[in-house]
Amino acid sequence: MTLAEEFPGVRVRAPGKINVFLEVGARHDDGYHELATAFQAVSLFEDVVASHADDFSLAITGSVDVAGVPQDDSNLALRAARLLQQQTGYDGGVHLDVRKEVPVAGGMGGGSADAAAALVACDALWGTGLSTRELHALAARLGADVPFSLMGGTAIGTGRGDALNPALARGRFEWVIVPNALGMSTPKTYGELDRLREQHADAVPPAPATPAVPSAVLQALRAGDPQMLAHALHNDLQAPALRLRPDLREVLERGERDGALAGLVSGSGPTIAFLVDSAAAGRELADRFERDGIEALPVHGPVHGARVI
Ligand code: C5P
């Protein structure tokens, strides 16, 4: 029996996310901003299959356009595998098959989910047996959103967004995701927020000294009440994202006109997430977009974090 037959690949599934609330504070010297966010993991998943190999390699497929995903050593899933190897001293490599469902460069943490899935998959494949805490520490080194994809569910993130506390969330929230063919750069959106705060203080409020998730958001999540949550949705990155991409405003307005309780830019954009009050309303809104040739995906949250399937 060959090695590959004896040890077939390990498949791990990790979710994308929506920031139902995101407040951005001051920029630190390392370029990162202090923030407070409420994450919800939603039912768009990245699947990573890790199989034994002598070196490190990667293949990427997906239901979304994967042309923009780097295939070289800068790929976040490969970086995750290498980081785990360095930290554990494991003597070998891995081949990663990544199947993407989360829009690329869309503000939904797809790359972060790949990294979270790769960490869990390699840890299982190699038998390195890291604790949840150790995996979380490695995840935080790979990117601010990677720890949340490990954890899943609904959580409050502070610091860079990587200091996590689970939030109580009852029931299931229904969303419609409208991806956009043109990805956006996260640092650019944050940079535009800094610029607006400096140069357009009349139109954009200043950075809060201590970003915090308001109690209205926590209450709405705890109550499982979409109407309440619709009133509390907020994203400080929405204004800069709309400045950079004015065309997104029309998508937002259309969704709200066509039955969404509320819409918001997801993370640093350009994906728009609409909150709806039932699965049927989600399907109806998605159908309306699709009839006009605009891709729209009904999803729900919260869902589980990265795990072997
Ligand atoms: O950690 P990650 O690679 O996802 O972050 C991408 C970029 O987003 C950072 O380089 C930074 O420009 C911006 N960012 C930030 N503050 C955060 C998280 C991300 O400014 N808390």
If you measure from the C-alpha of residue 33 to the centroid of ligand 1, how many angstroms do you get, rounded to a whole number? Answer: 7
Q: Is the CB of 32 under 6 A from ligand 1?
A: yes
Report d(CA 285, CA 192) in Å as an integer: 31
CA-CA distance, 121 to 17, in Å (whole number)? 20
pLDDT along the chain (309 residues), means of 10: 67 98 96 97 98 97 93 96 98 98 95 98 97 97 97 98 96 97 94 96 91 98 98 98 97 97 97 98 98 97 97
Contacts of 78 (CB under 8 A, 6+ apart): 56, 58, 96, 118
What pLDDT was estimated at residue 8? 75
Q: Give the pLDDT confidence score for residue 96 in this predicted structure.
A: 98
Is residue 190 lining ligand 1, measured as CB closer than 6 Å? Answer: yes
C-alpha distances out from residue 88 to 26, 85, 129, 306, Å: 35, 5, 9, 20
For residue 248, how far is the Cα from the chain centroid? 19
User: Considering the entire predicted model, what is its pTM?
Assistant: 0.95
DSSP 62-109: ESS--TTS--STT-HHHHHHHHHHHHHT---EEEEEEEE-SPTTSSS-
What are the structural domains of the chain?
1-309 (3.30.230.10)
The answer to whether the CB of 149 falls within 8 A of the CB of 109 is yes
- How many Å apart are CA 221 and CA 21, to the nearest integer? 11
Angle in degrees, 0-180, between the axes of helices 247-257 and 279-291, rounded to the nearest 10: 130
State residue 3's pLDDT score.
55
In tens, the pLDDT along 276-300 reads: 999 999 999 999 999 999 999 999 9
143 lines ligand 1 (CB under 6 A): yes
Pocket test for ligand 1, best of 22, 33, 266 (most atoms within 8 A of CB): 33
